[in-house]
Amino acid sequence: MKQRRLGVRVGLTGALWVGLVTLTGCSNGADTHPGQPVTHRQVIFKKMLRTLEPMGLVVRGRNDYDPAQFTQLADQLKTLSTQPWPYFTPDSNYPPTRAKSEVWSKPADFRAAQQKFIDAVAALDVAAKQNQLDAVKAPFAAVEASCKSCHQQFRGVPH
């Protein structure tokens, strides 16, 4: 039974990470617009992914828990959590973006999703400072859930 649960868990984990990688912007063209806002936000999202991935491996028991390293990653994620949003400018809905038009047509909803993510990351950062693996599991799940929710509502296929 344990093997089956592990297989399901690994399958779900793999699906989440594939979704995140896909989300971070495999582009279908270069961003040649002034200031390259799409490129800037994609770079930040990729940094977030590279920060989240090792924490997820720890939370799922696939890597050992090192409290200092986990806290450092949570701090990095907290710093990154506010960085991509200014690059969603009104003139940045062009390829290679994967953002849905709802980013611009429902700005209040998009800001609420951003804030939900920022708050979830802040809670993870606080929990990480407790230096206990059990303390970070629920906040990490909340961060993942906020990512998934935002992506479902505001991220689509490439233009």
pLDDT at residue 77, rounded to an integer = 98
pLDDT at residue 159, rounded to an integer = 54
For the chain, what is the domain count? 1
pTM of the entire predicted model: 0.80
- Phi then psi for residue 155, to 5 deg, are -125, 135
Q: Identify whether the C-beta of residue 114 lies closer than 8 Å to the C-beta of residue 26.
A: no
pLDDT at residue 34, rounded to an integer = 76
pLDDT at residue 6, rounded to an integer = 47
Residue 91 resides in a domain: yes
CB count in 10 Å sphere of residue 140: 25
Give me the domain span that covers residue 29: 2-154
Supply the CATH number for residue 143's domain.
1.20.120.10
CA dist 51 and 88 (Å) reads 21
Residue 131 resides in a domain: yes
Residue 28 resides in a domain: yes
pLDDT at residue 55, rounded to an integer = 98
Residue 159 resides in a domain: no
Average pLDDT of each block of 10 consecutive residues along the chain (159 residues)? 49 44 50 88 97 98 98 98 97 93 97 98 98 98 97 84
